[in-house]
Structures are given as C-alpha cells and as structure tokens.
Amino acid sequence: MNIDMIDAAAQRLQGHVRRTPLLSSPFLDDIAGRRVLVKPECLQHTGSFKFRGGWSAVSALDPQVRARGVIAFSSGNHAQGVALAARSHGVPAVIIMPKDAPRAKIDGTRALGAEVVLYDRATEDRDAIGAQLSAKRQLTLIKPFDEPQVIAGQGTTGLEIAAQAAEVGVSTADVIVCCGGGGLTSGIALALEARAPGLRVRPAEPKGFDDVARSLAAGEILSNTAPPSGLCDAILTPHPGDLTFPIMARLCGPGLVVTEDEAQHAMALAFRHLRVVAEPGGAVALAAALFHGDEITGDAVIVTISGGNVDADIFATALQRFPV
C-alpha cells in the first residue's frame, strides 16, 4: 500500500466520485472550542465514503474477471457502494447482509440492482455463505476494508482533505475519522502522510466497540468482546484488519471513544448547523471533536461524517432527544 495506489484510484474515480465540500459552522466552533472542519461523505454517491472503495476495487479488476460479477459482505454502506459501482460497470453484484441491518440500507442495496442474501448474525456464518456462493458463481469478493484497492479508494478522501485544508489555511490538525475495520482511516492516513504531513489521523469509535483504540494502545490486534449491536451499525467490525492495522499503528494518533448519546447529539447538531444527515456511526468523529476536546490539541480539528444512511425513526429520535 502506498500513495501511488491512492493516486491511481483517484484517476479511476475521476468523473464518477463526488468531491464532497468541507463544511463548517461558527456554532460548532463555539461548542468545540476550536475550529471544526467537516468532510461530509454522507453526501457521497450512495450516502457514504464506501462508494469510493467499491468503485476503486471494481474498476481495478481485470475486465473478464469483473464480467462474472462481484460479491460483498456488508451491513449496508459497503453494500450500496459496491452495488452502484458494479451496476455502473454493467456487472452483477451479490451482497450478503445481516437480517438486522437498517431497512434503508437493505432497500437501497436492492434498488441499486444487487442480489441481496440475508443471514442471521447470531446463528449463521457469513464467510461460509460467501465462500459457497463465490465458488459456485465465480464471483470476485470485494472485502469491505482489508483489501488494497478498497483502502486506495477510501484514501482519495484524504487527498481531498489535504487540498481542502490547505485552501482554508489549516496545515496542522488532528483528523478524526469514523473507524470500523480501518479502511477509511488507513487510507486517509496514507494520503495525508504524503500530501499533508502536519495532519494526523485519529480513529473514533463507539464505546464498547473500541477495538482499534485498544489495538493501537496495545500495539497488537485486539478484538471487541461484545457481539455487534447498537446504533452505530456501520462501524461495528470485530477487530482491525491485517492490512489496515499496521498502517494505523504507524501513522495514527490515539483512538477516541464516544458514547451512543454523544453520537446522537452530534447527529442533531449536524442537522441544525450543517444541514446534513449523519447516521449514528457516521457521527462518532464529530462527537469526539465536540465532546472530547480535552483529548485533542491544536486550533483546528478536521472530522469525517462517514455516512448518512439512517432510518427516519432513528434520526427523529436523535433530534428529539437532543434539542439544539
């Protein structure tokens, strides 16, 4: 993994990916006690940064291999990213999703033309289901994060952050990234290492699912003890990846951990002051910037909103619980 792969992914994504803006609000600056710059990947195609990695991976395949189709496991955002990338390339996509994924994500994936196979997180082995289907139909597996071309695609977010931070005069800051398996985090870290070395990436995770923060502190890959559940469905991976962890260990600062309440509060503040829709897992970095300022240094902080695919009732509950 290196910056050349990210530059190459940016080339393949040119004209297909949306260059999301860098948002800000004086009200958020006041709450955080420093300047807050927000990269809203909820505005990306399919509503999350995952479209970048999906497109990068699908577009990098040998055309004959690609024509047979692709397969992915996902609770939703990677699913939609791969589904749209596959459809745009005119090839089939099979997506294996947990039965309890948000309806918005299951429906969205189906509507993008993918064949959705649902499984039970508690009783079924998604890897076995995937391996069987993949072998039978000669589909290429697009892993959600531990895959070089996926990391390269997510890293294009970092290229944009480097350019956009420079445009607004920010050259030194923590860049807080919503972190599941570490694809976005490690991709952005690689991009910033090359293009904006004064910007340091720090992963943000929900409490109880802070495998990356603990792994970084321990210097080795540790797993979450609890089974994945809760509001932050998008980023509940069991442990950092074999590819992503060494990159994060080399380049990232300490992880930040926020509560579900803080994530919901950040959703309400993003609604009011940025007018964007953040899903709970997509709001953990903003929550860290707003409510864990004592763990951050510097006059400015940059955060990702990684996705905005949230069911209406969950969104409305966040607005109601945290009137702002």
State in angstroms the smallest separation of the CB of 61 from its own copies. 22
* CA nearest to 216, candidates 190, 189, 246, 192: 246
Q: Is 316 in the site for its own copies (CB under 8 A)?
A: yes
SS3 of residue 64 by DSSP = helix
Is 47 one of the binding residues for its own copies (CB under 8 A)? yes
Closest approach, Cβ 240 to its own copies, in A, equals 27
Asked whether position 26 contacts its own copies by CB under 8 A, the answer is yes
Q: Which helix (H) or strand (E) holds 113?
A: none
Q: Which residues are 202's β-sheet partners? A: 176
**Binding status of residue 128 toward its own copies by CB under 8 A:** no
Letter for the amino acid at 70? Answer: V
- Near its own copies by CB under 8 A: residue from 19, 89, 121, 292: 19
The Cα 101–Cα 322 span in angstroms is 24
User: What letter does residue 44 receive in the DSSP assignment?
Assistant: S
Containing 157, the helix (H) or strand (E) segment is: helix 148-167
What does the alpha-carbon distance between residue 60 and residue 66 come to, in Å, rounded to a whole number?
9
Assess whether 143 carries a catalytic annotation: no
Q: Which of 7, 8, 16, 27 binds its own copies (CB under 8 A)?
A: 27
Q: Does 312 bind its own copies (CB under 8 A)?
A: yes
Stretch of 67-75, 132-140, 200-208, 273-281 lying at the interface with its own copies (CB under 8 A): 273-281
Distances (CA, A) of 215 to 201, 241, 247, 257, 303: 15, 11, 12, 13, 21
Q: How many residues bind its own copies (CB under 8 A)?
A: 32
Q: Answer yes or no: 39 catalytic.
A: no
Q: Which is nearer to its own copies, 97 or 277 (CB)?
A: 277
In angstroms and rounded to an integer, the radius of gyration of the C-alpha atoms of the chain is 18
Residue among 251 and 314 whose Cβ is closer to its own copies: 314
Q: Which residues bind its own copies (CB under 8 A)?
A: 18-21, 23, 26-27, 40, 42-43, 47, 84, 104, 108, 111-112, 268, 271-272, 274-277, 308-309, 312, 315-316, 319-320, 323-324
